[in-house]
């Protein structure tokens, strides 16, 4: 990116960056996409160039979430793109959803997170496991950005092992009394509602919709992150919160409830990571042609070409994996284990590409003149949330051997 002067942002004067990103499609994968996919891709790419790229380094530097973008994300249809139009959602297919996540994460993983959580972890469980009344009450307002949601599964002592959670609900007349806490919750300090997973008196995991003004509920912000700095993260604390029984998600019991939502979100991340990788590759390719050392562009050195050739090879493999997963998802045939493989592979691929791209940029690569370090730091979170790199490896291991390493 290059400076193009100053402009007035939501928080004063910031330095605007020109976004010269161009997409990369080495295997003509565009030919596998339909007009709706290409239209969604181009419109989100344009929005990211106009609304995200000019401000993202500044917000990330200040570790502040550009909350004004929630409205814009709603307007471009980033919240629940593949949920039905009758609830105010996009009504598109799973490939369109993936491509939207790719383009958002090309801008910043934190911006993609804002959309992933809202669409896949808040709207999707309400759609999939909620009553018709809950769908009508919440989905249109979540789709248009009037309400912001968050998803509470992880606890301070139960991250990879959410089945061990201690947050609980107890019946009290026409209410449940909710106690416990959740940790590392994207969007929680700014959320109007939280989809919270808690154990009932029989120890069965249930989902409840908690509203921000319910007494005993608070969502303090977590500070000090070196990663996903433009995304707001917090806790959820429940002290005898009275939740009406009508806020229970009636149509699911057990850990498969939250894990089904995670499959939807992990799918989006498998696509999203390609966006971050493409941005790093695009910047590195351009830099290698413009930067000269020893009287020639550094792109003419074989070692730079090796890095670039390996980057585009890995991006192309990840694109094919995501596209095939998308076709399976459209047919309702994508398995959780297939989604785990794609999430794990594509996020790791993006992180490796960010590291190689940083080297190609030399010293400039560590500055915020270029998006590389921001993507690299973000991807450390993406490698861990929604199931860590190693948890997804063990899911694949279990799938191919039939032997469960977790029990
Ligand atoms: P296990 O006994 O294997 O499974 C319990 C039940 O769930 C079913 N199941 C799934 N269903 C749908 N999708 C999946 N991916 C599923 N995985 C499992 C399973 O069939 C079983 O069903 P049933 O009918 O027999 O009851 O459960 P386990 O306790 O042994 O755990 C397995 C393990 C380790 C794979 C699982 O706990 C896991 O995936 N852990 C990782 C936790 C995780 O991903 N946390 C993410 C928190 S949310 C987040 O990070 C959001 S960041 C968002 C952002 O900012 O973008
Ligand atoms: P741990 O589970 O303690 O894992 C630590 C290490 O041990 C990891 O390397 C892990 O792979 C390894 N490990 C654990 N178990 C095994 C095993 N059986 N075999 C081998 N290795 C193992 N959660 C939500 O519910 N909602 C959110 O919105 C959300 N947003 C997040 C945003 C950010 C910025 C971050 C950082 C996290 C977020 N999370 C959220 C939580 C995230 O899902 C967890 O951090 C993640 O699941 C890992 O849990 P943990 O951090 O407790 O690590």
Q: Are 65 and 59 in contact (CB under 8 A)?
A: yes
Ligand approaching nearest to the C-alpha of 183: 2
Q: Are residues 67 and 201 in the same domain?
A: no
Q: Sign of torsion, CA 289 294 300 304?
A: negative
Task: Using the mean position of ligand 2's atoms as its centre, give its distance from the Cα of residue 274 in Å.
Answer: 22
Q: Is 154 in the pocket of ligand 1 (CB under 6 A)?
A: yes
407 within a domain of the structure (yes/no): no
Q: Are residues 49 and 135 in the same domain?
A: yes
Ligand 1 atom nearest 394 alpha carbon: 35
Q: Are residues 138 and 162 in the same domain?
A: no
Give the pLDDT score at 18: 82
Q: Are residues 324 and 275 in the same domain?
A: yes
Q: Are residues 278 and 349 in the same domain?
A: yes
Give the pLDDT score at 9: 43
Q: Are residues 82 and 205 in the same domain?
A: no
Enzyme catalytic residues: 386
Q: Is 152 in the pocket of ligand 2 (CB under 6 A)?
A: yes
357 within a domain of the structure (yes/no): yes
The count of structural domains within the chain is 3
DSSP code at position 118: I
282 within a domain of the structure (yes/no): yes
Q: Is 153 in the pocket of ligand 1 (CB under 6 A)?
A: yes
Q: Are residues 203 and 305 in the same domain?
A: no
User: What is the Cα–Cα distance from 56 to 114, expressed in whole angstroms?
Assistant: 14
Q: Are residues 260 and 397 in the same domain?
A: yes
User: What is the Cα–Cα distance from 366 to 372, expressed in whole angstroms?
Assistant: 7
Give the pLDDT score at 125: 98
406 within a domain of the structure (yes/no): no
CATH of the domain at 242: 2.40.110.10
Q: Is 109 in the pocket of ligand 1 (CB under 6 A)?
A: no
Full residue range of the structural domain in which residue 126 is found? 2-143
Q: Whose CA is nearest to atom 47 of ligand 1?
A: 386
pLDDT < 70 regions, the chain? 1-17
Mutate to test the pocket of ligand 1, among 204, 254, 262 (most ligand atoms within 8 A of CB): 262
Q: Is 386 in the pocket of ligand 1 (CB under 6 A)?
A: yes
HEC profile of 26-64 = CCCHHHHCCHHHHHHHHHHHHHHHHHHCCCHHHHHHCCC
Q: Is 153 in the pocket of ligand 2 (CB under 6 A)?
A: yes
Q: Are residues 309 and 326 in the same domain?
A: yes
User: What is the Cα–Cα distance from 99 to 94, expressed in whole angstroms?
Assistant: 9
Ligand 1 atom nearest 337 alpha carbon: 15
Task: Using the mean position of ligand 1's atoms as its centre, give its distance from the Cα of residue 255 in Å.
Answer: 6
Q: Whose CA is nearest to atom 26 of ligand 2?
A: 185
What is the helix (H) or strand (E) element at residue 267, kind and residue range? helix 256-290
Q: Are residues 130 and 158 in the same domain?
A: no
Ligand approaching nearest to the C-alpha of 116: 1
The domain boundary, picked from 187, 218, 247, lies at 247
85 within a domain of the structure (yes/no): yes
User: What is the Cα–Cα distance from 33 to 394, expressed in whole angstroms?
Assistant: 32
CATH of the domain at 377: 1.20.140.10
CATH of the domain at 110: 1.10.540.10
The domain boundary, picked from 97, 123, 143, lies at 143
Task: Using the mean position of ligand 2's atoms as its centre, give its distance from the Cα of residue 49 in Å.
Answer: 32
Give the pLDDT score at 6: 44
DSSP 114-171: HHHIIIIIIIHHHHHHS-HHHHHHHHHHHHTTSS-EEEE--BTTBSS-GGG---EEEE
- Going by their DSSP bridges, the two strands 217-218 and 175-186 should be labelled as unpaired
The domain boundary, picked from 247, 264, 286, lies at 247
Give the pLDDT score at 14: 47
Task: Using the mean position of ligand 1's atoms as its centre, give its distance from the Cα of residue 207 in Å.
Answer: 14
Q: Is 197 in the pocket of ligand 2 (CB under 6 A)?
A: no
Q: Is 396 in the pocket of ligand 1 (CB under 6 A)?
A: no
Q: Whose CA is nearest to atom 29 of ligand 2?
A: 185
Q: Are residues 211 and 317 in the same domain?
A: no
Q: What predicted TM-score, i.e. pTM, was given to this entire model?
A: 0.96
Give the pLDDT score at 16: 56
Q: Are residues 360 and 225 in the same domain?
A: no
- Interior/surface letters 197-208, b for 16+ CB within 10 angstroms, e for the rest: bbbbeeeebbbb
């Amino acid at each position: 990116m290059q400076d193009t002067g100053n402009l007035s942002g939501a928080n004063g004067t910031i330095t605007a960056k020109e976004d010269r990103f161009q997409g990369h499609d080495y295997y003509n994968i565009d030919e596998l996409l339909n007009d709706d996919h290409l239209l969604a891709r181009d419109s989100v790419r344009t929005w990211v160039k106009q609304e995200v790229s000019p401000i993202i380094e500044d917000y990330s530097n200040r570790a502040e979430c550009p909350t004004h973008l929630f409205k814009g994300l709603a307007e471009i249809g980033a919240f629940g793109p593949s949920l039905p139009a009758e609830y105010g959602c996009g009504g598109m297919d799973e490939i369109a959803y993936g491509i939207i996540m790719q383009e958002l994460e090309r801008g910043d993983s934190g911006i993609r997170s804002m959309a992933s959580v809202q669409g896949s972890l808040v709207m999707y469980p309400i759609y999939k496991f909620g009553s018709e009344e809950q769908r009508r009450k919440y989905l249109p307002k979540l789709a248009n950005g009037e309400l912001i949601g968050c998803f509470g599964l992880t606890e301070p002592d139960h991250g990879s092992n959410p089945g061990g959670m201690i947050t609980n609900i107890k019946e009290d007349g026409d209410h449940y009394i909710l106690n416990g806490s959740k940790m590392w919750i994207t969007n929680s300090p700014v959320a109007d509602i939280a989809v919270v997973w808690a154990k009932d008196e029989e120890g069965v995991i249930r989902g409840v919709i908690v509203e921000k003004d319910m007494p005993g509920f608070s969502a303090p912000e977590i500070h000090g992150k070196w990663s996903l700095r433009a995304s707001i993260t917090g806790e959820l604390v429940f002290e005898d919160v009275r939740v009406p029984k009508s806020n229970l998600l009636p149509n699911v019991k057990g850990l498969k409830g939250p894990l089904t939502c995670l499959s939807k979100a992990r799918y989006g991340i498998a696509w999203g990571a390609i966006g971050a990788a493409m941005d790093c590759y695009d910047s590195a390719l351009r830099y290698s042609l413009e930067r000269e050392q020893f009287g020639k562009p550094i792109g003419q050195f074989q070692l730079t070409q090796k890095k670039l050739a390996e980057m585009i090879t890995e991006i192309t493999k990840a694109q094919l994996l995501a596209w095939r997963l998308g076709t399976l998802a459209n047919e309702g045939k994508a398995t959780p284990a297939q989604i785990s493989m794609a999430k794990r592979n594509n996020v790791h691929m993006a992180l490796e590409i960010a590291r190689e791209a940083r080297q190609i940029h030399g010293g400039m690569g560590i500055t915020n003149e270029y998006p590389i370090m921001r993507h690299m730091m973000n991807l450390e979170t993406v490698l861990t949330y929604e199931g860590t790199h190693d948890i997804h490896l063990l899911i694949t291991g279990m799938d191919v051997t039939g032997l469960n390493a977790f029990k």
